[in-house]
Structure 1
């Protein structure tokens, strides 16, 4: 993988870099960020990986105290139903 620097910003005694690379598996360009603190040439730095931008939203979509038509036999539809959204 060859990574190209998209942007670089000086902050907190280091640099926040954004890189772009091509994924052969997904067949598209992807980006990732890395904060690199000031360091001496050849000095080894620790790394921390995390998955960002993944949010699970589970709103309560069941109204309370109202008489609405529903399918009471189904656990996933109507008054007792729920909704899950996964956003990347």
Structure 2
């Protein structure tokens, strides 16, 4: 779980242009000012590119925090 967290932290820092972002599994959009609905789309696209996977809309809608994103990544990479 830690490696995914580190990878996502770097990706979030890049996409949201904020090097101060430090993700935990509990981090959600309310915790990061730059993480709005538009940037959420950019984040999803970049996560899909990074891990060479595709998420369904229903999967994305279920995400409540970074831990949920990591769980979805792990499920896709099984």
TM-score (norm 1): 0.17
Q: Which has the higher contact order (CA 8 A, sep 6+)?
A: 2
Instruction: Report which of the two has the higher share of strand.
Output: 1
Is the radius of gyration larger for structure 1 or structure 2?
1
More helix by percentage? 2
TM-score by length of 2: 0.18
